Amino acid sequence: MTEAEVRIIATIKDIARLTGVSAATVSNVLNGKSGAASDAKMQEIFQAAKELHYRPNTLAKNLKLRRTKSIGIITEDLTVFHTPEMVDGIEEYCESQGYEIILDNMRFFKRFGNNFTDTRLHTEFFENAVSALVAQQVEGIVYIGYHCREIIQKPAFPHLPFVYCNCYPKEPEYACVYPNDEDAGYQVGKVLTGLGHTNIGIISGPKGNVNARARLDGFFRALREAGISYDVNTILHGDWGRDSGYENAKKLLPGDCTAIFALNDAMASGVFFRCQELGLQVGRDISLFGYDNLNIARVHTPAISSVEPPLHDIGRKCAQLVLEQIETRSRLTQRVLLPCTLHLRDSVCPR
Amino acid sequence: MTEAEVRIIATIKDIARLTGVSAATVSNVLNGKSGAASDAKMQEIFQAAKELHYRPNTLAKNLKLRRTKSIGIITEDLTVFHTPEMVDGIEEYCESQGYEIILDNMRFFKRFGNNFTDTRLHTEFFENAVSALVAQQVEGIVYIGYHCREIIQKPAFPHLPFVYCNCYPKEPEYACVYPNDEDAGYQVGKVLTGLGHTNIGIISGPKGNVNARARLDGFFRALREAGISYDVNTILHGDWGRDSGYENAKKLLPGDCTAIFALNDAMASGVFFRCQELGLQVGRDISLFGYDNLNIARVHTPAISSVEPPLHDIGRKCAQLVLEQIETRSRLTQRVLLPCTLHLRDSVCPR
DNA sequence: TTGAAAGCGCTAACAT
DNA sequence: ATGTTAGCGCTTTCAA
């Protein structure tokens, strides 16, 4: 097999040889420099390029140009439900601005399950991902957390635009974008208290989980406004899984509460199951609110009310912040909170 | 701002300058060539590399080496549920073999919704994705369909290893890997007929949809084995959405059938809703089978039986086929069908 | 209108 | 043990 056969794609030299001009001329013509060659030659060159399916070798081109117009995306885990939609938002914006994206998926969930990202190994994966991307000459990076929380890792490259997506850094040296969970929790509280509920069960995430903090802060703000006091010791803690929603619901039902706020849809689904078991009709005998707005919330009858985080917009905004830093050679450090959307469905009713 | 400040990462020259040796020596040391320098120099070089967070510029390195050890992944749409898991399978295998992956997401679902991929625009996106990847010097490509069907597009580069994932090419020039839907449909048929069901409603995809073909072929094979004849004109056609499952269930229920096979979980969920509406208890009064094994199947009470396509394995296998072609400089053209897993749940019962 | 030459950062063959 | 050189494919002066 000859060299030419092995090579997948033609180079500028092949076109030069074929058309009897120099590589420089081919480059000039293909890059649209006017007056780089005679009309006849130009046609020949375009023709040859087309026939050979020529595409400039980006390695060589970017090396020469000393820029790649690309940004890296580091995902903690691409298979965790929220992630692809945020990636999509980033891609959409980058495409509109002529930037490429390079994705590095650390596969944390696959590797570590729900363990939080604070072991030495996690940090090692982080550093490898960053430097792999930097080695590929990305001009900035978006780091996507698989759920919203504080991230202790930060990049070792001071001049690299870096934005935390769906999470936030410990120190405010870097920009970040995430859902306004406080406000969302507040709105849920407003809805529930507005419907007359005063005894509301709460099923949160694991004890001490920062993820749920903001949601509950907002929720309690609404309760306070409604003049309802709440004993935080009565908050139940699940592990975000459906079963733990069910088990915790057993502690609540049968009981006095007229509404339950589960801090994610999976647990809300478990609560729903408990209600069915007891013959309680959700949306009539008891109100139920979830979080995440997954499909599973919608397929219950009645559908479970839920909070939709603005995933696509979060991605978009991150991309925007990175590109702005690249193009203005500046450093941005703001925290951007984007509003969630409440989906009120038949799972809630007046007390 | 000086050049050095702007550059994100140090080069081999920086290290050479810092340690007073030539670039070649730095390269040799860093690449583990024994005897490339004295121990003292070696230490100095490693030290400097570490301090500067040096990582070789992959553009330059790969350009020089004339290979990238990378493969491209083209996704029709990363946000469609099945896709990330297949990507993950590819990544896992590539990582184990020291290959990088470069992802190109065409965002078909976002751009075109459920329109099938046979317009000029679709082909244009395909060709752009392929040549963008080839321009980046990938050594092979995996093309991931967002649902299993025939793909008419094929790459313009004859020497490029190319594997269709969760779909298959028109002509058998390229390898492909997808779920064994015929067998899965057969198993579903076996289960249902084994439980004594003879009158089974079928809610398929859009009329003429090749996607459902294999599943139904297998299903009917099982019916034939059970001596049950079936009038194919009674097959109902939905659009894969939950609502269409519900609407089609209205034609079936109330009625004579004792079981319903919906060709995806979303439609099965719609059927479930219809049953509730009629006071029919799924898993007692009627049996229900879905397809895809999404979370939505599991959160119904009772849980809906479903078929799980081997997404991760499909990804892995595709990666394997691409790498094998790269390393052996050969062309593989086989069709690989991987077995699905049946999840039998309480939604099915004897007639 | 055209091309020669230099160089992006790296590696490898070949000196010394 | 260390360095010189050439060249991967491309772009971009600058000269002809």
Closest-CA residue of A relative to B109 is: A88
pLDDT tens, position by position, A95-134 = 999 999 999 999 999 999 877 778 899 999 999 999 999 9
pLDDT tens, position by position, B135-173 = 999 999 999 999 898 999 999 999 999 999 999 999 999
Amino acid A6: pLDDT = 57
Amino acid A98: pLDDT = 96
- Residue bearing tokens 């590539």: B94
Give the distance from CA B161 to its chain's centroid. Answer: 17
Contacts of A63 in chain B (CB under 8 A): 57, 59-60, 63
Phi, psi at B14, each rounded to 5° = -60, -45
∠ CA B327-B333-B339, nearest 5°, is 100
Pull the structure tokens for residue B58.
Answer: 């992959």
Q: Is the CB of A22 under 7 A from strand C?
A: yes
Half-sphere exposure (Cβ direction) of A200: Cα atoms closer than 13 Å: 34
Contacts of B83 in chain A (CB under 8 A): 84
Q: Which of A300, A304, A287 is nearest to A342 (CA)?
A: A304
Running DSSP on this structure, what letter comes out for residue B286?
A: B
Contacts of A107 in chain B (CB under 8 A): 88, 91-92
Q: How many residues does chain B have?
A: 351
User: Mapped to the 3 state alphabet, what secondary structure does A178-246 carry?
Assistant: EECHHHHHHHHHHHHHHCCCCCEEEEECCCCCHHHHHHHHHHHHHHHHCCCCCCHHHCEECCCCHHHHH
Amino acid A270: pLDDT = 97
Amino acid B115: pLDDT = 78
Amino acid B6: pLDDT = 57
Distance measured from the CA of protein residue B6 to the C1' of nucleotide C3, in angstroms: 33
- B150 near B168, Cβ under 8 Å? yes
Nucleotide nearest to B25 (CA to C1'): D2
Nucleotide nearest to A28 (CA to C1'): D11
- B30 near B56, Cβ under 8 Å? yes
Distance, in Å, from the CA atom of B271 to the CA atom of B282, rounded to the nearest integer, reads 10
- B306 near B268, Cβ under 8 Å? yes
Amino acid B5: pLDDT = 44
Task: Give percent of chain B above pLDDT 70.
Answer: 98
Distance, in Å, from the CA atom of B13 to the CA atom of B22, rounded to the nearest integer, reads 8
Q: With 70 as the cut, is the pLDDT of residue B245 above it?
A: yes
Distance, in Å, from the CA atom of A349 to the CA atom of A197, rounded to the nearest integer, reads 9
CA-based torsion, B26, B32, B35, B41: positive or negative: positive
Distance, in Å, from the CA atom of B209 to the CA atom of B231, rounded to the nearest integer, reads 18
What per-residue string of b and e applies to B153-163 under the rule 16 or more CB within 10 Å gives b? bbbebeebbbb
Amino acid A36: pLDDT = 83
Amino acid in the structure at residue A257: C
Give the distance from CA A90 to its chain's centroid. Answer: 9
Alpha carbon separation from A274 to A245, A282, B100, B276, B299 (Å, rounded):
9, 10, 46, 17, 12
Q: With 70 as the cut, is the pLDDT of residue B4 above it?
A: no
Closest-CA residue of A relative to B127 is: A53
Distance, in Å, from the CA atom of A325 to the CA atom of B318, rounded to the nearest integer, reads 38
Distance, in Å, from the CA atom of A58 to the CA atom of A48, rounded to the nearest integer, reads 19
Pull the structure tokens for residue A173.
Answer: 């040296």
CA-based torsion, A114, A118, A124, A125: positive or negative: positive
pLDDT tens, position by position, B65-84 = 999 999 999 999 999 999 99
Distance measured from the CA of protein residue A230 to the C1' of nucleotide D8, in angstroms: 69
Distance, in Å, from the CA atom of A58 to the CA atom of B161, rounded to the nearest integer, reads 20
pLDDT tens, position by position, A282-329 = 999 999 999 999 999 999 999 999 999 999 999 999 999 999 999 999
Running DSSP on this structure, what letter comes out for residue B107?
A: -
Average pLDDT, chain B: 94
* Subunit contact B57:A78, Cβ cutoff 8 A: no
Contacts of B299 in chain A (CB under 8 A): 242, 269, 272-273, 296, 299-300
Low-confidence ranges of chain A (pLDDT < 70): 1-6
pLDDT tens, position by position, B205-228 = 988 887 789 999 999 999 999 999
For chain B, how many helices (H) and strands (E)?
14, 14
* Subunit contact B105:A91, Cβ cutoff 8 A: yes
pLDDT tens, position by position, A246-259 = 999 999 999 999 99
List the single protein residue with the shortest CA to C1' distance from C11: B64
* Subunit contact B79:A85, Cβ cutoff 8 A: yes
∠ CA B291-B296-B301, nearest 5°, is 100
Amino acid A2: pLDDT = 40
Q: Which of B194, B256, B260, B251 is nearest to B222 (CA)?
A: B194
**Mapping DSSP to helix (H, G, I), strand (E, B) and coil, where does residue A339 land?**
coil
Q: With 90 as the cut, is the pLDDT of residue B274 above it?
A: yes
Running DSSP on this structure, what letter comes out for residue B339?
A: P
List the single protein residue with the shortest CA to C1' distance from D12: A24
